[in-house]
Structure 1
Amino acid sequence: MTPEDGFVRVGGVPLHVVVEGRGPVAVLSAGLAMAWFDWDRVAALLAAEGRTVVRFDRPGHGLSGPAAVAPSAAGEADRIAGLLDALGLPGPVTVAGHSIAGFHAEAFARLYPERTAAVVLVDGSVEEAPRVLLPAGLRTGAARAAGRALTAAGLPAALGPLARRATVRLSRTGGADPAARDLVRRCYRTGRVWRGALLENSRYLDVAAEVLALRRTHPLTAPATVLAGYDGSARGSALRWLARQGDLAGLLGARFEVAEPAGHLVMLDRPHQVARAVLEAAPPGEGPGRGQPFA
């Protein structure tokens, strides 16, 4: 089925959303500064296997509007719920979060257990003991100021696509950025995306601490999968990251799987394995179908 591409307003922000396929719902949320098209191959595989696939850009990412407020774990969980409501997809759904969006996916599963069929953390962020040194307001203000300064200097327009391409290449085990050049230019030449990434990064440790608190008060009742990217090397940093991902799986009582060879952008390096992890995360059943088309 041809993807439906449009916008819905959630929490006062126009969110860019792409929906395709038919069947039980899978929500895909990308990592910091990434966009909906980074899930292209995974989404196509899931839709072909009988899933309704929902991809969206968080505020300040992809084509979505700028963030109205600083991000939080609960706020991102509410955003996913609000997006599903706007699309007429009540759930239960499988939520897959990559990198920092792993925090958001876990928060959704804990705060909306009745709407969660399964959760998949794709090389998700791990912070065992996050410590925030500076006040949140100060960090948020600095991030906004830096974003404005970079935009005024013209750096996004001059270097945005190049920075995106370089980052993707460094985050894979092999291969260039597969994203279409026009989409990269459309997103990464804008100061909005740079400001969105800086703002989200400024609250990274706060979100991590919030998820740790949720683990003490809100049990994870849905089946979970931790899919870790591993490049196959004997480098200490790679092995330590793999061990931390395994520890996270143990903490969550999750199924642990290694994607090898893969860099941090597992959905680009191993799309078939990511799709399989999503398909196998929840038992097959009669999931909800499509809601109303959006404008």
Structure 2
Amino acid sequence: MGFVRVGGVAHHVVVEGGGPVCVLSTGLAMSWFDWDPVVPLLAPHRTVVRFDRPGHGLSGPAVVPPSAAGEAHRIAGVLDALGLGPGEAGPATVVGHSIAGFHAEAFARLHPERTAGLVLLDSSLEEDARVPPAPGVRTAVARIAGAALTAVGAPAALGPLIRRGVVRLVRPGYAADPAPAALVRRVYATGRVFRGGLLENTHYRAVAAELLALRERHPLPAGLPVTVLAAPDQAARWTSRQRALADELDARFEAVPGAGHLMMLDRPDAVAGAVLAQKA
């Protein structure tokens, strides 16, 4: 566990295992430890890289709003800072969960020579996204709201409770959050993470719209192995949209029984299996 500086921000990173590189990127407001059930299954076969985006986990606060291209370049920057660039470690398999599915796909489109494979876990979907108006105003409002809520102690009072509640809500049978209490409080009681999640959520549709534009200009590499894993415990309409995403990307599609949106917690075996099934 350590930190690397990318784009002027200290990024918290954890690197384990050995072999071809696999990058794990979590959804909005999630943290590196949410991949804990998956890592022991991958580390004997892959060099597993986990990192927290700005304003997430233990990383420093975001200095610029998120964008699809920016997050793609961030993945590349983290790998370079770790000495795991293509010249040193070869191309990487990138695993994106939820909103990080946007980022992982953008990485494959903008850095095709660095991409060995793509695995999307219950990825975010916005088939007809449009960039909302006044992005600068939206950023300012998000920052002001985040600062105001932090000033009145909302993160310390509510952050861990919100985290626990959201995790339960999206797991089958309302299963408990397995993350240690000390880690949850260390991360989610901070104004930094509260503000980071708010900023990323504010620009969600803009990032989605940017990805749609990237699809038109930057095709995926021919023959790139792509896998879309969907949680059938979500609504049937959601699963059908995930299948349509797989068709759009010419990907292998799999509905994973027993998995909710946090598939890495519910079915780590399926996540690891999808990665290892792709040729490294």
Which bin holds the TM-score, normalised by the shorter protein? Answer: over 0.9
2:46 pairs with 1:51: yes
Whole-Å Cα distance in 1 between the matches of residues 149 and 142 of structure 2? 11
1:195-274 pair list within 5 angstroms: 195-221=195-221, 222-231=224-233, 238-274=235-271
1:83-232 pair list within 5 angstroms: 83-90=78-85, 91-174=90-173, 175-221=175-221, 222-231=224-233
Q: Which amino acid aligns with 2:55?
A: G
Decide whether the 8 Å contact of 2:9 with 2:62 is kept in 1.
yes
1:4-43 pair list within 5 angstroms: 5-43=1-39
Distance 1:133 1:9, change over 3 A: closer
How far does residue 116 in structure 1 lie from its aligned partner after superposition?
Answer: 0.2
Q: 1:25-51, CA deviations, whole angstroms, 9 ceiling, x for partnerless residues? A: 100000000000000011111003x11
Q: Which amino acid aligns with 1:146?
A: A
How far does residue 132 in structure 1 lie from its aligned partner after superposition?
Answer: 3.6
Query: Secondary structure of the equivalent of 1:66?
Result: coil
Larger mean Cα displacement after TM superposition, 70-79 or 135-144:
135-144
Whole-Å Cα distance in 2 between the matches of residues 205 and 96 of structure 1? 21
Identity, % of aligned pairs?
69
Whole-Å Cα distance in 1 between the matches of residues 132 and 121 of structure 2? 28
Aligned to 1:71: 66
Provide the alpha-carbon RMSD of the alignment: 0.9
Q: Which runs of 4+ in 1 moved over 3 A?
A: none
Whole-Å Cα distance in 1 between the matches of residues 179 and 57 of structure 2? 12
How far does residue 223 in structure 1 lie from its aligned partner after superposition?
Answer: 1.6
How far does residue 131 in structure 1 lie from its aligned partner after superposition?
Answer: 2.5
Whole-Å Cα distance in 1 between the matches of residues 260 and 157 of structure 2? 27
How far does residue 133 in structure 1 lie from its aligned partner after superposition?
Answer: 3.8
How far does residue 263 in structure 1 lie from its aligned partner after superposition?
Answer: 1.1
Whole-Å Cα distance in 2 between the matches of residues 250 and 157 of structure 1? 43
Q: TM-score, normalised by structure 1?
A: 0.91
Q: Which amino acid aligns with 1:226?
A: V
Larger mean Cα displacement after TM superposition, 260-269 or 21-30:
260-269
Q: 1:229-280, CA deviations, whole angstroms, 9 ceiling, x for partnerless residues? A: 111xxxxx71000000000000010110111121111111111101101111
How far does residue 138 in structure 1 lie from its aligned partner after superposition?
Answer: 1.4
Query: Secondary structure of the equivalent of 1:194?
Result: helix
Whole-Å Cα distance in 2 between the matches of residues 140 and 278 of structure 1? 36
